[in-house]
Amino acid sequence: MRKVVEPLPTDLFLRGYSVIPTPQKVKVEEENIRFDGSWVYDAINIDENHIAIRTLLKDLKNFYSLELKSGSSRKKVIRLSVKAGTVKTGADPERDKQSYRLKITSKIIEITGNGDQGLFYGVQTFLQLLKPSSKGYLTLPKCTIEDWPTFQLRFIHWDTKQHQDRMETLKRYLDWAARFKINMIGFELEDKFEYPSHPVIGAPGAFTTEELQEIVDYGLERYIQVVPQIQAPAHFAYVLKHPEFKDLRADGNNYQACLCDERTYKLIFSMYDDVIKATKGVEYFFVSTDEVYYAGICKKCKRPYNPENRSLTWVKFVRRAHDFLVKRGRKVLIWAEYPLLPKHVSMLPPDIIDGVLGDDKEMIEEENKHGIRQLAYTPIQGSEFLFPNYFPLDGEDRLPERLKAAFKTISIDSWRGNVIGVYGAAWDDSGLHNETFWLGWATVAEYGWTPGTPPLEQTVVEFMKIYYGPNITGMVEIYRGLQKQARFFQRSWDRIVSRERGPAYGNSEGPGIGTTRYDLTLPRPALPTLPGLDFVPVYVGDYKKLVEEAREMAIENDALTYLILENIAKADRNRYNLEVLLSLAKFTAHHNKMIIRMKEIEDILAAAREAARKPDPEQAIKHLNAAYELASTIVEERRETFEFLKKVWEKSRYPKGREVDGKKFYHVLDDTKDHWADRRPDLTYLIAPEESIEIEQWMAELKTIIKKYSQSWGKARR
């Protein structure tokens, strides 16, 4: 383990300038310079169409309304060039070509890359350094920066299990990934690709070969490899759910394919070939071999099912996949984990890259000895609902702090292995919107470039300024507030044994273990009984405490919503991101109000009961009708809130579970996994817990009671 001294804020930051990731070497002077439209740019030995120049001009125009002209004037000129060896990095060639020098003086700004990629990164740093002054013009610090990455491969993860992004969304993601000097995307395609050899696998409207290649080419131009990541042979329900592949299921479950059937290899390798044809120019391929719980369990397997043979069966698959892909010019990444045994690491090809540097000391030692390199894997999100656990929260001590964990994994733990890069995972299991991941992705980008510096707090502040623009305020409070709202939403539900879904197949400990599935719900308010409108209240005891907390959360949500709305008006960039955050604030606000109103309904029913005892039937009926109307308010607000969220989310995504050209989405639950977002084919998984309360049914029953009570008093009066 590497010891990292608590980092201090950087000199650039203390001068009011922000850059993600922090450069390796910075010599900054006290003086600032003015930057405006009087500057020109000069491409020394590069084409005018170079992506570095196009990015420079485009971002200056879009972010600052500046349009620079080309020229070689000696006064106020930006000189862009590529010259090998400009920065003496001492690094391997792959990292060396990513290095650059940025020198800023009052009349000349020089951006020089050791390679084209380095020049592009130098432009990104220059653009981030631009700072609006109080006098209305932009300033830059006089400085000299020499910079290169510590880790060669800097991955962020795009998981598309539960959604499909629109083409323009993916291009915007690539633009922002490039700004943070990300150079690898783990694109977990699942069924969002057409797979021409097996069209049934692709979901309705899945990306075609041409569309995926368009995404890949857009990334390559920005020095990002969109690396296909294909889940197989486990997490394979997106394929095995189809009747066509039923006979390839391991032990009958659709989670994993049988590894003792040659047709499994033929199927998976044909999928690999399909994706390779759609990702030309990419050097890598991610063979996503994680959680292969049941390697060798299939009845077609001849060897006994035990830990030894389970590991050997896994190794056989990896070796065959590796050989297949290497022949097609790809470098192979895998998840080297369960069921692999450390003693079998030496049987793996040494040129593979392990995508997860885990905690198994023996496994790491064997990989190091065998020459296998690793990625420092850190999850930005796992099973959280609505919003990631970025920060520590009072009373939530057991929750992971994703940012702190990312810093530790990359800056400290990574030195245990022979690490070649980092991997910032953002799983789609719980269906979070990708816009909630950018703080985590930027944090991974930061420490993947310069591990151990700057302080985490500085990275957070710099991200807010760079991603939203310099005018925003209170964004850290917004993120903390949303996280708190999301955690209350998640833990406020009762977990009950599922009434709709049968037991799961099993877990990593074996079939039949951990099989119970659970649903989220809350009890309906009590219903009065005739003749006296008596009832036994539900929202008392523990539920009373839940209501009290909901009231506190509702107050905080009001303040949170105001902050988000204020920043929507202020933000210069990524205003859509704030729309997504607003949709989450509105969604959790409704949840808080729903809980409060169910208690208020019971308070109204208590008033109806007292009126009935007097007797004052007219007043009792008024109270009963008021309870009914309050329940209908819950239902109507649920509808309106969900429709607002759906409208916002579908600006960047296609409708979840959509039908395209007559092809319907084939929804079958994974046999082993219990993902929240997989409960339903569409976005209504978000409101499924509330719908399970069946407020509408409660309203129908109350309506019958009101009618009977009214009739009984009408007869008494006659």
Strand partners, 398: none
Picking from 21-25, 346-350, 514-518, 547-551, which range would have the lowest pLDDT averaged per residue? 514-518
CB 27 within 8 A of CB 144: yes
pLDDT at 156: 98
For residue 396, the model assigns a pLDDT of: 67
The Cα 491–Cα 480 span in angstroms is 17
pLDDT at 718 over 50: no
Interval 633-661 mean pLDDT: 97
What pLDDT does residue 509 have? 79
Distance CA 352, CA 345 (A): 11
* Element housing 132 (H / E): strand 131-132
**What is the model's pLDDT at position 424?**
98
- Average pLDDT value over all residues in the chain: 95
DSSP code of 193? Answer: B
* Gyration radius of the chain over CA positions: 29
E-strand ranges in 163-233 read: 184-188, 225-231
**pLDDT(675) > 90:** no
User: What distance in Å separates the CA atoms of residue 426 and residue 432, rounded to the nearest whole number?
Assistant: 9
Does the CA dihedral 230-236-241-242 come out positive or negative? positive
User: pLDDT band at residue 191, thresholds of 50, 70 and 90?
Assistant: very high
**Using 50, 70 and 90 to split pLDDT, how confident is the model at 663?**
very high
The answer to whether residue 672 scores a pLDDT higher than 90 is no
How far is residue 681's CA from residue 694's CA, in Å, rounded to a whole number?
20
What is the mean pLDDT of the segment spanning 374-396? 91
Confidence of residue 679 (pLDDT cuts 50, 70, 90): confident
* 33 token code pair: 């310079």
Phi/psi for 353 (5° steps) reads -115, 130
Question: Residue 297's Cα: distance from chain center in Å?
Answer: 33
Token couple for 618: 């007219």
What is the C-alpha separation between 228 and 190, in angstroms, rounded? 10
Judging by beta carbons within 10 Å of its beta carbon (0-12, 13-18, 19+), is residue 28 exposed, middle or buried?
A: middle
Kindly list the structural domains of the chain, giving each domain's residue range(s) and its CATH number in brackets, ordered by start: 25-147 (3.30.379.10), 153-455 (3.20.20.80), 522-555+583-655+673-717 (no CATH)
pTM: 0.96
Is 60 exceeded by the pLDDT of residue 715? no
Residue pLDDT, tens place only, 424-481 = 999 999 999 999 999 999 999 999 999 999 999 999 999 999 999 999 999 999 999 9
From 159-173, 364-378, 661-675, the region with the lowest mean pLDDT? 661-675
Peptide bond connecting 531 to the previous residue in cis, omega within 30 degrees of 0: yes
Beta partners for residue 507, in sequence order: 510
Tell whether the model's pLDDT for residue 62 goes beyond 90: yes
Residues in the chain: 718
Residue 66: helix, strand or coil by DSSP?
coil
Asked if 112 and 83 touch (Cβ cutoff 8 Å), the reply is yes
Give the list of residues 6+ apart from residue 408 with CB closer than 8 angstroms, or none.
Answer: none
Position of tokens 């502040």? Answer: 461
Residue labelled with tokens 């889940």 = 231
Which residue has better confidence, 366 or 716?
366
Is residue 257 pLDDT above 80, yes or no? Answer: yes
Percent of the chain with pLDDT over 70: 98
Amino acid at 415: W
Q: What pLDDT was estimated at residue 205? A: 98
* pLDDT > 60? residue 1: no
Contacts of 671 (CB under 8 A, 6+ apart): 237, 253, 254, 255, 504, 505
DSSP state of 653: B
